[in-house]
Amino acid sequence: MYVCLCHAVSDKKIRQLAVDQGVTDIRGIKKCTALGTQCGRCVRQAKEILEQVKPIELQQAS
């Protein structure tokens, strides 16, 4: 599913960046994908996805 329509960023891409590359904050996601840099409507949903991914990432780190 696309989270950011302006830049074609999917929820899968956000999860992948968080888990594989440790990009767990919205600033990092913006930097990597340009998400939220146009209309900004996607930022809230992207933050929610990051919140879901964080516990998974912490499990993998330990």
Binding site for ligand FES (CB under 6 A): 4-7, 35-42
Residue 36 CB, nearest approach to ligand FES (Å): 5
Six token digits for residue 42: 């996607």
Indicate the residue among 36 and 56 with the shorter CB distance to ligand FES: 36
- The token duo for 33 is 């994908």
Strands (E), the chain: 2-4, 9-10
Give whichever of 9 and 53 is closer to ligand FES, judged by the CB atom. Answer: 9
Least separation in angstroms between CB 24 and ligand FES: 19
Q: Pairing relation of β-strands 2-4 and 9-10?
A: antiparallel
